Structure 1
Amino acid sequence: MMNIRKLLTVGGDERMLYTSQSLAEKGFDVEIFAPSPPAGFEHMRPTGDKSIDSAAARADAVILPLPVSRDGVHLNSSQLTLNELSDTLERGQTVFAGMMDGALKSSFFKKGIRVFDYFEREELAVNNAVPTAQGVIKIAMENMKITLHGARCAVTGYGRTAKVLADMLAALGARVTVAARKCSDLAWARTGGLDAVNISELMKTAPELDLLVNTVPSLVLDCKTLSALRRDCLVIDIASAPYGTDFACARELGLNVIVPGSLPGKTAPKSAGEIIADAILNIIKEGS
């Protein structure tokens, strides 16, 4: 187990506040890099520092957001630049971060700073599937003219989130088709009572669909497939970049395509924050 007790959380959205809160409840000494407590978190301890230097010097480890940065220059939801952060941390410190850029990670390694990407943890990915799937269902209910009960839905891919989402949709009474490449995935989907087709045959099912959710981060919803959809079919792409939809074609066809980002943090920030906290705690316990 790592000898880490003092934690500093820097940047991020509401879920990182819940990450901090959860770790504090588990007995860690946690500070939030902020001049004052954020609204709703008055019980949490802000650093009160204007400079990151003194706050970081007090910490055994620093927790960075998910993702670490959105523009490649600044820390996510912070005015602090990545270069400033890198210059601040010292040899022997530890960084826990989500989706850290390789160049930044390399700069930390060169300084003798240990870096752990909690987003790479399998338990985090599995646990995140639930709030992600619930977020998709929320978006669908808000943007469809019909109920999910009885709706014809398709999910491309059959990874962690796709499995949870397909089961949730089916539980709501939707008629769900899984479109995947692996024969084993198709077999598992059918075993679970779902319809299943090879992703190359999705176009045959497309004209019947009311909802199409993509989880594959490569082009699977090409113009040919999109053209087969009815114009009132809602398309939600939750894959990571570069996504799996021909967005230019979708616009030309007049399709409603939604690309929600960071669904766990938007749908259930407290649950998402606790999931991150658990992943960080597991890393600390494993001590590697």
Structure 2
Amino acid sequence: MLTGYHVAVIGGDARQIELIRRLNEWDATVYLAGFDQLNESFREAIDLDFESEQVEKLDAIILPVPGTDAEGKIEGIFSNQLIHLSEEWLKRTPDHCQVFSGIANDHLKDLAAKTNRTLIPLMDRDDVAIYNSIPTVEGTLMLIIQHTDFTIHGSKIIVLGLGRVGMSLARTFDHLGAKVSVGVRSSKAAARVYEMGLEPIDMNDIENADMSCDILLNTVPHLVVDASVIKQLPSHAMILDLASKPGGTDFRYADKRGIKALLAPGLPGIVAPKTAGRIIADVVSRIVQEGSRKEND
């Protein structure tokens, strides 16, 4: 339970709806900003007044998964209003106030440092990323089925990256009967791929690797699917880039070659926002309570 805790939820998407519901169920005092179109749905919550004394009570601030833009502005799909997270405002929060965001850009990190507030990028945590890999895999399956005219079973699939999402992807498609190869950079990761019964690809020499496949799944957040890779793909192949924007694919060259290439970051929030919101709520609740216990020790 979060009785006595004051939490502000500022902007976001459908994931925040489940997050707000869970916080209300746990008896937290919830303040909302950027949910103008939904406020009637959350009568237990309070509109956040940025100029009031509410700010001085906050134990936690929960931002959208993308965090802020480079200028500190926060967007949400339930409001036309842009909210600006300023240094002056954040300094008015209690010293123990924690700021949660899915990802953290340089501006948000700098803001937390200047105000001496704890910034927690949730998507950097193993627990959140592993839980989120489940709806990510389901969303990947959905997109592949929608955008191909062949079965996954028997297809040749390459997964680039053996991180938390990459491992779940490789395992799932292997179980579905695909011929799976995994692009990795370290000998340790290559050994893990081999142990899984899959084929490792050395990404340090990707230009000379055999990258021909039916489906190419990228999880690496920098350019790895470049022209040297794309030119090896057959015309029917599909590239699905799951990395955060702008992805790791040369989409211009893929289009020039007539290769179908989709950028699909944030699949949990699209295909399973209720589950994704519950994951965020559970982790935030645990961290907030742990922080309170440490403060009281």
SS at 1:265's partner residue? helix
Gapped runs of 5+ residues in structure 1? none
Letter in 2 for 1:61: A
Q: Quick one: structure 1 residues 204 and 95, their matched pair in 2 at CA, closer, same or farther if it must change by over 3 Å?
A: closer
Aligned position for 2:120: 116
SS at 2:51's partner residue? helix
Letter in 2 for 1:88: W
Aligned position for 1:15: 15
Query: Using CA pairs below 8 Å that are at least 6 residues apart, which structure has the higher relative contact order?
Result: 1
Q: Quick one: structure 1 residues 251 and 127, their matched pair in 2 at CA, closer, same or farther if it must change by over 3 Å?
A: same
Aligned position for 1:5: 5
CA contact (8 A) 1:121 1:279 kept: no
Deviation at 1:202, TM superposition (A): 7.3
Aligned position for 1:82: 84
Aligned position for 1:189: 193
**TM-score, with structure 2 as normaliser:** 0.83
Instruction: Determine the C-alpha separation between the residues in 1 that align with 2:63 and 2:142.
Output: 28
Does the alignment pair 1:94 with 2:102? no
| Range moving further from structure 2, 99-108 or 246-255 | 99-108
| Residues 118-154 of structure 1 deviation map (CA, whole Å, 9 limit, x = unaligned) | 3332211221111112211111111011111221111
Aligned length: 283
Letter in 2 for 1:16: Q
Q: Quick one: structure 1 residues 203 and 108, their matched pair in 2 at CA, closer, same or farther if it must change by over 3 Å?
A: closer
Q: How many percent identity over aligned positions?
A: 29
Instruction: Determine the C-alpha separation between the residues in 1 that align with 2:281 and 2:30.
Output: 12
| Range moving further from structure 2, 27-36 or 6-15 | 27-36
Instruction: Determine the C-alpha separation between the residues in 2 that align with 1:62 and 1:105.
Output: 14
Aligned position for 1:211: 215
Letter in 1 for 2:211: A
Aligned position for 1:64: 63
Does the alignment pair 1:153 with 2:154? no
Deviation at 1:163, TM superposition (A): 0.4
Q: Quick one: structure 1 residues 237 and 65, their matched pair in 2 at CA, closer, same or farther if it must change by over 3 Å?
A: same
Aligned position for 2:169: 165
Gapped runs of 5+ residues in structure 2? none
**TM-score, with structure 1 as normaliser:** 0.86
Matches within 5 A, 1:13-52: 13-33=13-33, 38=38, 42=41, 45-48=44-47, 51-52=49-50
CA contact (8 A) 1:32 1:44 kept: no
Deviation at 1:185, TM superposition (A): 1.5
Instruction: Determine the C-alpha separation between the residues in 2 that align with 1:205 and 1:106.
Output: 42
Deviation at 1:251, TM superposition (A): 2.0
